Every structure is written in structure tokens, then in C-alpha cells.
Amino acid sequence: PISSAVARAHAIFQRANLARRAGQMRDAADAYAELLQRHRNDRRAGLAAFELGRIRMDALDDPRGAVRALSQALRLSPDAGFREDALARIVFAQDALGQRAACRKARDRYLSGYPQGVHVVSLAARCR
């Protein structure tokens, strides 16, 4: 049987995904944040943090919030398939914030892990 906590986390995650697919980005972000707050240890928490970071960056013009969410995603799911994209997005967000030292550190972290990565070219012009 599925525990009630797992069922609640599943319901929140589904609500977030449905809102995101419907283009209701604020509602999606709120639901992903709710999952992270209430069910931090749920197996979907890392992905929820990644999606929250993407929404904050792409739809809500919140690069600072994106960095927090993407960093949390990396902590919660260090080996996830979204790792490369999360690392690159942190560079873009730090660059948007004008935080040059943090941007360079994030860029170097990406390049050390993905020297032939898909974002190498686009990251070369960042952090100046």
C-alpha cells in the first residue's frame, strides 16, 4: 500500500505538472515549491526543484530563485539526468544577476563535469 505521505506528494506533483502543461506557471511554481516544503524526502523532490528552477528562470524572471531551486535540485538528485542542464542554467542565472565570481565558479563546475557538453559554446560568452 502507498503511504498517505507518498500519495499526497504524488498529488501535488501531478497538480504542478498539469499547471505547467496548461501554461499556468505561477500555479506550477507554487505547487513544486509546496512539494519541496512538505515532502523534501520524496523521490520526486529533485525533479520538482529542477522544474521550479526552470519556471523561475524562464517564465517568472526570477534568476535568484532559479539559482536556489536548481542548486537544491542538484543536492537532492546529484546523479539525475537533468544535472548538466541544471549546472548550465545556474551559470546563465548567475550571469543575469551580474554575479561574476559566482558565475565563473558555476561555469568552471559545468566545464569540469561536461568538457564536451551541449552548453559549452553558449557558456563561453558568460561571466564577463
pLDDT 10s digits, 3-18: 899 999 999 999 999 9
**pTM to 2 decimal places:** 0.94
> Cα dist. 26→8, 33, 34, 98, 99 in Å?
20, 11, 12, 25, 26
Residue 63 burial (CB count, 10 A): 21
Grid cell digits, residue 4:
498517505
Name residues whose C-beta falls within 8 Å of residue 53's C-beta, 6 or more positions apart in sequence.
65, 66, 67, 68, 69, 70, 72, 73, 86, 89
Confidence of residue 84 (pLDDT cuts 50, 70, 90): very high
At 22-78, the pLDDT tens digits run 999 999 999 999 999 999 999 999 999 999 999 999 999 999 999 999 999 999 999
